[in-house]
Structure 1
Amino acid sequence: MFFLPPEWHPQSAVQLTWPHKGTDWSYMLDEVNECFIEIAREISSRQKLLVVCKNQAEVQELLTDCNMENIVFSEQDSNDTWARDHGGITVLDNGGPVILDFGFNGWGSKFRSDKDNIITKVLCDAEIFNPEVGYKDHNDFILEGGSIESDGKGTILTTSECLLSESRNPQFSKTQIEDYLKTWLGAQRVLWLNHGYLSGDDTDSHIDTLARFCNENTIAYVKCSDSEDEHFEALSKMESELKDFKTKEGVPYKLVALPMADPLFFENERLPATYANFLIINSAVLLPFYGSKKDKEAQRILQSVFPDREVIGINCTSLTKQHGSLHCVTMQYPEGVIS
């Protein structure tokens, strides 16, 4: 029986796919490297860090302040850096980890993804993962890690805008997609959000930009309080949907409202800055900061939700310039995957 562990499940490692000159980061490589270095430092001080990179020697020179004993490298090329969406999704099968290698098509063929789509297979073939870790090829089904949230108890939270997109799996109906998630992720039910988006988002409303499980009974979500903001109506409708959701026991979820990030613009385009794009790791939560007074407000709110973890802010303004944030560039692996 497959089981998709929640993000707070004990982890063995987190993957970063490092930017290089052949990616869209080429014009701002130094700037984005600073963000990646900070993420790498916080992760490697607590657990293993898997770095996929085009040139290992170049990246090693950047990581002198990190715990190098905790860093595992895999030298391979990539189209981009969004490990959340091209990384393998790990399920537990009777307690043993299995990497599910779903297809990645650049968020509905918006961007090239041929190199990214083979990264997980290369990692498995190179024996980066422990020998007992299973591998299953699911490249015939498009599924990005940022599009699903698990409570660890059989509930998957997602958005209809993404999973029902005609550019993902048009051959499947909503019922068939639900059945697929139940079969391979061990889901017992799927909660669908039909509203909510962020301007500048390329992912068709990934759930990890909007609403996140913090534990099996708590959902943190982006709340827009400014009626003049373009997101107000859609996010208000999303909030109403969340209020209608109930746990498997029939109890309303504890909802934790995160502030809407102050508008960020680059080249006259509003960027998808969101505090929902945090990463839970062993003993800490990494929270994207955007150089705003709301950063500390979001940190205070999440610290109350995760009293046993340190909530650490990381400036992710650079990541938003390519329409993502902190959670989007990471993928966690539960204990047992990497030694």
Structure 2
Amino acid sequence: MSDRPYCLPAEWAPQSGVLLTWPHADSDWRPLLAAVEPVFVRIAAEVARREDVVIVCNDAALAGRVRGLLTDAGVDPGRVRLHVAASQDTWARDHGPITVVRRGCPLLLDFRFDGWGGKYPAQLDDQISRTLHTLGAFELAAMASVDLVLEGGSIESDGEGTLLTTRRCLLSAGRGGRSQAELEHQLIALFGLDRVLWLEHGQLEGDDTDSHIDTLARFTDPQTIAYQGCDDRGDPHFAELQAMADELGRLRTLAGAPYRLVRLPWPRACHAAPGAPGRRLPASYANFLIVNGAVLVPTYADPADERALASLAACFPGRELVGIDCRTVIEQGGSLHCLTMQLPAHLSLGPGTA
């Protein structure tokens, strides 16, 4: 993070913890629950090796179950903070709070979450951040409600005043239909930015988010962007992702230099399980999570997995690269980063209440 008095930290900045919202039987995860819970256990275990994990549970019974699952997996209970809050889904990246730091003090921004432009019910998820704050999950940190639909997966910060996002998402009618100039002014004020970089291209089949940036292109340091490439000319994504790559090549850092671009390999097409035949799923290696000392990378039992890990390892010297099989997660349209929200080190975390 730079010396600016107020900013949106980059994800690689030190963290106090990571937020997860656990799946349950009264959600769309019901038919996949037995398969997806081990993925959540693995994510929680990897996070807890390095920092705290804050877990939202739909009710007290689920909190007890989660505690047992993590104990059986050997997770340090001192790293786990369980809280009860009603939920409809698990995408903490989009319903969780976004933390800015002002003169060393954290401020939690609670944006409106409407199920990606009203595509899915989200009234309960929209209340999770406020419920956690009321429960003392963030100790004495202030929280401000922002009357703006904005998901954490739609923005990417370099921690030094630049935000990367997509027009297709932030300017969509479901996000309020604001003009680019109006929204850019608001984002600069909210996050203490110098500028916003907008991408016109980039879209994955099966993505309900209207092109969240965290499935497409990610800062790995202030001069480097890792992005999802497509090297199969016969794939429907080829032209769109090539156009996005061309756009990225035209972007410049604040110092006026071109970004170092790291092209991530293209996984084979993943399709939905029987019951939704033919539906393609949005598998992306760009949906990685940076935590203290490590990078958790989604994998898809694909030959490209190892190349993706190697490419990202070169971007994060000194951090351990950990692959996590996310084939079950993308059955519901997201991946690893979508499930998580990092909590910066400036934020003190309260004890669990469940």
Q: TM-score range by the shorter chain?
A: over 0.9
Amino acid at match of 1:75: V
Report what 1:174 is aligned to.
180
Amino acid at match of 2:295: V
Contact 2:93 2:153 survives alignment (8 Å)? yes
Deviations 1:295-331 (A, max 9, x none): 0110011111111100100000001000000000000
Contact 1:226 1:232 survives alignment (8 Å)? yes
Amino acid at match of 2:128: I
Match of 1:142 among 143, 149, 159: 149
Match of 1:158 among 152, 158, 165: 165
In structure 1, distance between residues paired with 2:149 and 2:6: 19
Contact 2:101 2:346 survives alignment (8 Å)? no
What secondary structure does 1:137 align onto?
Answer: strand
In structure 2, distance between residues paired with 1:4 and 1:104: 19
In structure 2, distance between residues paired with 1:57 and 1:299: 34
In structure 2, distance between residues paired with 1:242 and 1:89: 25
**Cα drift, residue 95 of structure 1:** 1.1
Report what 1:114 is aligned to.
123
Deviations 1:250-274 (A, max 9, x none): 0000000001111101132110000
Report what 1:57 is aligned to.
64
Unaligned runs of 5+ in 1: none
In structure 1, distance between residues paired with 2:137 and 2:312: 33
CA RMSD of aligned residues (A): 0.8
In structure 2, distance between residues paired with 1:71 and 1:59: 10
What secondary structure does 2:332 align onto?
Answer: coil
What secondary structure does 1:331 align onto?
Answer: strand
**Cα drift, residue 336 of structure 1:** 2.7
Amino acid at match of 2:171: L
1:82 aligns with 2:68: no
- How many residues are matched? 336
Report what 2:197 is aligned to.
191
In structure 2, distance between residues paired with 1:114 and 1:23: 13
Report what 1:306 is aligned to.
316
Contact 2:204 2:211 survives alignment (8 Å)? yes
Q: Which runs of structure 1 show a deviation greater than 4 angstroms over 4 or more consecutive aligned residues?
A: none
What secondary structure does 1:108 align onto?
Answer: helix
**Cα drift, residue 166 of structure 1:** 0.7
Contact 1:13 1:338 survives alignment (8 Å)? no
Report what 2:261 is aligned to.
255
Give the alignment of 1:191-230 within 5 angstroms. 191-230=197-236
Report what 2:303 is aligned to.
293
Deviations 1:205-229 (A, max 9, x none): 0000000000000000011111100
In structure 1, distance between residues paired with 2:155 and 2:85: 27
Contact 1:87 1:331 survives alignment (8 Å)? yes
The alignment's TM-score, normalised by the length of structure 1, stands at 0.98
Match of 2:340 among 297, 319, 330: 330
What secondary structure does 2:13 align onto?
Answer: coil
Report what 2:286 is aligned to.
276
1:41 aligns with 2:45: yes
Unaligned runs of 5+ in 2: 350-354
Amino acid at match of 2:145: D
In structure 2, distance between residues paired with 1:174 and 1:301: 33
